[in-house]
Amino acid sequence: MNWLKKKFSNTGTIMATVGGVILVAQQVGLDFDESYYNNIAKAVCSLMVITGIFESRSKTPKFNDKEK
């Protein structure tokens, strides 16, 4: 369960999840303004990074980063 908490404390994961949910909802036939919900998600993620609840993407190790 800890890995799930770690994944969902990353802003990139949250943005991808919001985008995926919106795409699935549009395929089902629901009408959403995708840019509106993405902007809300960006604002919420920004506030969470500022308050220290989420990690910014720059802190997350990349594929080619070496451990020091």
Count structural domains, the chain. 1
Domain extent, residue 15, equals 2-57
For the CA atoms of 51, 56, 42, 29, the dihedral, rounded to the nearest 10 degrees, stands at: -130
**Residue 11 clears pLDDT 80, i.e. is over it:** no
Asked whether residue 37 is assigned to any structural domain, the reply reads yes
**Residue 57 clears pLDDT 80, i.e. is over it:** no
Asked whether residue 24 is assigned to any structural domain, the reply reads yes
Asked whether residue 68 is assigned to any structural domain, the reply reads no
- Given pLDDT bands bounded at 50, 70 and 90, which one contains residue 13? confident
Q: Is 19 exposed, middle or buried (0-12, 13-18, 19+ CB in 10 A)?
A: middle
**Residue 42 clears pLDDT 80, i.e. is over it:** yes
**Residue 61 clears pLDDT 70, i.e. is over it:** no
